[in-house]
Amino acid sequence: MLSSTTIYFNKKNEEVARITFDENDVPGWCIKSKTEPGFKRKFAAQREACAVWLREFDPETGKLHAKSHRKELSNAY
For the chain, the structural domain boundaries read 6-75
Predicted confidence (pLDDT) at residue 10 exceeds the cutoff of 50: yes
24-63: per-residue pLDDT in tens? 888 999 999 999 999 999 999 999 999 999 999 999 999 9
- How far apart CA 66 and CA 71 sit, in angstroms, is 9
Q: What's the rounded Cα separation, in Å, for the pair 24 and 40?
A: 12
- Taking the alpha carbons of 64, 65, 66, 69 in that order, is the dihedral positive or negative? negative
C-beta atoms surrounding 21 within 10 Å: 17
Q: What is the pLDDT of residue 70?
A: 45
* Strands 15-22 and 28-33, bridge-based pairing: antiparallel
